[in-house]
Amino acid sequence: MSELKKLENAVDDYIKAKSEEDGTFVTGWVMVASLSSPDHDSTHTDGYVTVSSEGLPHHAQVGLLKVSLDDKQAMSIFNTMSAIAINLEGEDDDE
C-alpha cells in the first residue's frame, strides 16, 4: 500500500471517528505541514509541504485552503467579539 493511500485511509478513519452523523465520508482534503531542519538556526530554511487527496484538482485544493482560512479568521473575530461582549456584561453587573 502506498504512503498516500495510508494517509487517505487515516484521514477517512479520523473523520468517521469524529463525525456525529452516520454515513459521513470525505470528499477531498488538503494537508499543509510546516518543515524545519536541524540547521534552521544558522540557515533559516523553514518550508512547507502540501499533500492532498488523490485526484483532487488544483482549483479544489486552493478552494479548500481558502475556505479553511476564511473559517479560521471568522472564528477568531467571533471569539474576540464574544470576549468583548462578556467583558461588557461584567461591567454592567458592577453598577
Whether 28 and 52 have beta carbons less than 8 Å apart is answered as yes
| pLDDT tier, 41 (very low <50, low <70, confident <90, very high otherwise) | low
Query: What integer pLDDT is reported at residue 39 of this predicted model?
Result: 74
Sequence spans of domains, the chain: 1-54, 57-95
Query: What integer pLDDT is reported at residue 92 of this predicted model?
Result: 58
The answer to pTM > 0.85 is no
| pLDDT tier, 51 (very low <50, low <70, confident <90, very high otherwise) | very high
First vs last C-alpha separation in the chain: 67
At a CB cut-off of 8 Å and minimum separation 6, what does 94 contact?
Answer: none
The answer to which of 11-20, 21-30, 33-42, 75-84 has the lowest mean pLDDT is: 33-42
DSSP 6-54: HHHHHHHHHHHHH-SSTT------EEEEEE--TTHHHH---EEEEEE-T
